[in-house]
Amino acid sequence: MNTPVKKNDQLTVHIEDLTHDGAGVAKVDGYPLFIQGGLPNETAEVHVLKTLKNYGFAKLTNIIEPSPFRVEAPCHVFSECGGCQLQHMTYEGQLQWKESMVRNVMQRIGKVDAPVLPVKGMDNSWRYRNKSQIPFDLENGEVVAGFYQTKSHRIADTNTCIIQTDEADRLLRAIKEKALELDLTPYNEETKKGQLRHLVVRKGRATGEVMVVLVTKHVKLSKKEDIIELIREVEPNVTSIMQNVNTRNTNVIFGDETNILWGKAVIEDRIGVVRFEISARSFYQVNPVQTEVLYKQALDYAQLSGDETVIDAYCGIGTISLFLAQKAKQVLGVEIVPQAIEDAKRNAELNGFENTYFEAGPAEEVIPKWYKEGKTADVLVVDPPRKGCDEALLTTIIEQRPKRVVYVSCNPATLARDLRILEDGGYKTKEIQPVDMFPQTTHVECCALLVLDK
C-alpha cells in the first residue's frame, strides 16, 4: 500500500476541516488524516496511528498554532463521552463552522447556490436538553452512571451533564447514591443480573413539570415507597414518576410495559402557545427553545394567509402541523408511526384545533393517494429522518407542483441531494436557514424554502 504517510510517522500538518465525529481533518498530498481533538485552522504536530488505503488516523501531540476558537472543554468526561463533539471550540466558532459546513455541502453535493444564512444559535448554549436517558451499571461493586462512550457500551461515569437539566443532575446523583439501599442494583448487560437499567428524566421547559422514568429489568420494586419519597424530596417539581419494564437482553432503552408509580402519566409543555402532552415514551423535540425558532422559520417560509391547505409530511406527533394550523385553513399530517399519529390527534384536540387531519402511513404512499382523492396542498412541508425524502415523494411533489415547499432537515447532505432533485423538477431554492438545535455537537438543522420557478 502506497500512502503518503506511514504508521508512527511524526509530522506537522495544517488542519482544514472537521468530520461529523468532530475529528480534525488535515490533508497530506491530498491524503486525509483524521485527528481527534484537532480544530480547523490549527497547525499541529501529529503522530500517525493507522493508515488505510484512502485515509488515515493520527494523534494530536502538540498544537503549534491554535485555532482562535480553541477553549478548554468544560466537561470532565468530554474526551471519553460520545455525547458532545465540539466543547473544545467556542460557541461562536461552532456556529461559524456549521454555517460554512452547510454552504460547502450545498455546493459540493447539490450544486445548490441559494444563500445560506448565518446559523441561528442559542443565547445560552448549555443545559438545553429537556430529556436525559442515563444508563446505570455496576463496576467492581460501585454504581456508575453517565453516558456511553463513543461507539461503545462502556459508561463514562459522571455526576453532571452540562447540556442537560439541573433536575437530571440532582436525580442522577441521588439515585446513584441510594441505588443499592433501594434495591435498585444496576442491571449488567453481560451477567444479565440486576434491576435498574436507565434513569430517564424529562422536563417541560415552559411548564416546569418533571417526569422521572425508572427503566427496570423486573416489575417488582421492593422499596417502591422509599424510591418515590426520595425522588419527590430531591425534586419537588416532579409531577410524574413512571416505571418502564424492559425484560429483554437488548440495548434498546424501553420495554413494552409502562406503569405509573406516582402522579400523572404525562407532563405538559408548550412551544409558542401550542400545548403538548408528553408521555414516558413519546417522541418530542429535545431542544424546545430552538424548536420554536425552527418552526417559526418554517411558518415564515410557508407565508400563510389563512386560505391555504398545507401538507406536513413526516409529521411525528404533529409539532409542525399544529404550529402551522394556527395560520392555515387546513393542515394534513402524515407519519409512519401509528402511535405518533395518535399523539398528534390528541394534541390537536388538547389545543382545540379543528382544522387538522392526521393519517398514519408512509408519506410516499399516502400523499399520492390524497392527491387522487382531491386533497391537494398549496404548501408542502417535509421534515424527513436523516436519510432524507423518499424519491417517490419527490416525484409526487414535482408532478403536483405545490406553490411552496418548506424543507426541514437534520442532515445537510441529504437536504442538498433532495434540493437538486426538486430544482431539476422545476423548483428554485430561495434560501436556507440553519438553526442550531444541538449546541456542543456537530449536528445542525436547516430550513429551506423552495418556490416554483416559472
| Residues with active-site annotation | 410
Three cell numbers, residue 281: 415514551
Is position 298 an interface residue for ligand SAH (rule: CB under 6 A)?
no
Is position 331 an interface residue for ligand SAH (rule: CB under 6 A)?
no
Residues 278, 265 contacting (CB under 8 angstroms)? no
Is position 388 an interface residue for ligand SAH (rule: CB under 6 A)?
no
Q: Work out which of 363, 379, 397, 406 binds ligand SAH, going by CB under 6 A.
A: 363
Contact region with ligand SAH (CB under 6 A), list: 13-21, 121-129, 165-173, 335-343: 335-343
Q: Is 91 annotated as a binding residue?
A: no
**CA pseudo-torsion sign 396, 400, 401, 402:** negative
Is position 297 an interface residue for ligand SAH (rule: CB under 6 A)?
no
Is position 340 an interface residue for ligand SAH (rule: CB under 6 A)?
yes
Q: Work out which of 169, 343, 383, 436 binds ligand SAH, going by CB under 6 A.
A: 383
Is position 285 an interface residue for ligand SAH (rule: CB under 6 A)?
yes
Residue 420 CB, nearest approach to ligand SAH (Å): 20
Q: Work out which of 137, 269, 292, 335 binds ligand SAH, going by CB under 6 A.
A: 335
Is position 316 an interface residue for ligand SAH (rule: CB under 6 A)?
yes
Residue 286 CB, nearest approach to ligand SAH (Å): 10
Minimal CA–CA distance to 377: which of 334, 428, 414, 418? 334
Residue 336 CB, nearest approach to ligand SAH (Å): 4
Is position 396 an interface residue for ligand SAH (rule: CB under 6 A)?
no
Q: Work out which of 343, 390, 423, 445 binds ligand SAH, going by CB under 6 A.
A: 390
Cell 422559520 maps to which residue? 297
Q: Is 268 annotated as a binding residue?
A: no
Instruction: Name which of 31 and 283 has its Cβ closer to ligand SAH.
Output: 283
Instruction: Name which of 132 and 285 has its Cβ closer to ligand SAH.
Output: 285
Minimal CA–CA distance to 295: which of 280, 274, 309? 274
Is position 269 an interface residue for ligand SAH (rule: CB under 6 A)?
no
Is position 32 an interface residue for ligand SAH (rule: CB under 6 A)?
no
Residue 366 CB, nearest approach to ligand SAH (Å): 8
Residue 359 CB, nearest approach to ligand SAH (Å): 10
Position closest to ligand SAH via CB: 316
Is position 279 an interface residue for ligand SAH (rule: CB under 6 A)?
no
Residue 384 CB, nearest approach to ligand SAH (Å): 6
Q: Is 314 annotated as a binding residue?
A: yes
Is position 319 an interface residue for ligand SAH (rule: CB under 6 A)?
yes
Q: Is 335 annotated as a binding residue?
A: yes
Is position 368 an interface residue for ligand SAH (rule: CB under 6 A)?
no
Footprint of ligand SAH (CB under 6 A): 285, 314-316, 319-320, 334-337, 340, 362-364, 383-385, 390
* Residues flagged as binding site: 285, 314, 335, 383
